[in-house]
């Protein structure tokens, strides 16, 4: 087993344990995240998760969440990321791979604590990474769209929180396992 897999497995376990611990700790004092509540998040991901480590544009996404029941919301996520890396070919030339990742998925969030200015939540995400690949080399060899027909399954589990500095706008952060280890950004109540 490689070092990266061990780190990823440990991160998953820590995230799940932390989410469960926080859920039980805050559940007694929770105010309601209500049915009909709507949030829009604009975020950027930091730290490699399921994407290659040589990210040129980190995962950037827009997430919409709708409260379908007390403390529980479902939503959609649309995002983009790209990577750019070089390899040394057997003939000594340098080849350059550029990948574009169009990300599309569903999210579910359980808000185990919410107040007028903040929320704490656990989130699960499941979706697709539709990848396009371009390759160029010093000797002029090119290839486009190696595999644009088969999207890869992506998933994630995070815990996080929102802090609202006004009635409708705030910041959020979440940590866990997914496309990124840490996501930060702006959140809007609609």
Kindly tell me the burial class for residue 114, based on how many C-beta atoms sit within 10 Å of its own C-beta (0-12, 13-18, 19 or more): buried
Q: 38 near 67, Cβ under 8 Å? A: yes
Alpha-carbon distance of 155 to 5, in angstroms, equals 15
Give the pLDDT score at 124: 95
Alpha-carbon span 34 to 73, nearest angstrom? 9
Query: Which residues partner with 38 through β-bridges?
Result: 66
40: which 2 tokens?
């829009």
Q: How many domains does the chain have?
A: 1
Q: For residue 13, what pLDDT is reported?
A: 66
* 53-101 pLDDT tens trace: 666 778 899 999 999 998 999 999 999 988 887 777 777 778 787 888 8
**Helix, strand counts (H, E) of the chain:** 1, 9
* Residue-wise pLDDT tens digits, 132-176: 877 777 666 666 545 455 678 889 999 999 999 998 899 999 998
Instruction: Find where tokens 């509540």 sit.
Output: 37
pLDDT at 19: 60
State how far the Cα of 190 lies from the Cα of 185, in Å rounded to an integer. Answer: 16
- Token pair listed for 15: 């995230």
Q: How many other CB atoms sit within 10 Å of the CB of residue 27?
A: 12
pLDDT higher at 142 or 189: 189
CB 182 within 8 A of CB 175: yes
pLDDT of residue 46: 84
What is the residue range of 57's domain?
Answer: 3-189
Indicate whether 49 pLDDT > 80.
no
77: domain CATH number?
2.40.160.20
In the predicted model, what is the mean pLDDT of the chain? 80
pLDDT at position 62 is: 95
Whole-angstrom distance, CA of residue 70 vs CA of residue 55: 38
Residue 95 confidence (pLDDT): 78
Task: Out of 45-49, 119-123, 152-156, give the one with best mean pLDDT.
Answer: 119-123
């Amino acid at each position: 087993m490689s070092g990266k897999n061990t780190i990823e497995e440990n991160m998953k376990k820590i995230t799940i344990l932390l989410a469960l611990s926080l859920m039980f700790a805050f559940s007694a004092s929770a105010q309601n995240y209500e049915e009909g509540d709507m949030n829009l998040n604009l975020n950027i991901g930091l730290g490699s998760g399921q994407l290659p480590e040589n990210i040129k544009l980190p995962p950037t996404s827009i997430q919409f969440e709708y409260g379908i029941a007390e403390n529980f919301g479902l939503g959609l996520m649309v995002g983009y990321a790209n990577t750019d890396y070089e390899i040394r070919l057997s003939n000594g030339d340098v080849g350059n791979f550029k990948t574009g990742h169009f990300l599309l998925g569903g999210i579910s969030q359980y808000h185990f604590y919410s107040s007028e200015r903040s929320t704490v939540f656990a989130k699960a995400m499941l979706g697709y990474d539709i990848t396009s690949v371009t390759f160029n080399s010093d000797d002029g060899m090119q290839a486009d769209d190696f595999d644009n027909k088969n999207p890869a399954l992506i998933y994630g589990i995070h815990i996080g929180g929102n802090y609202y500095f006004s009635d409708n706008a705030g910041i959020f952060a979440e940590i866990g396992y997914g496309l990124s280890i840490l996501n930060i950004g702006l959140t809007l109540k609609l």
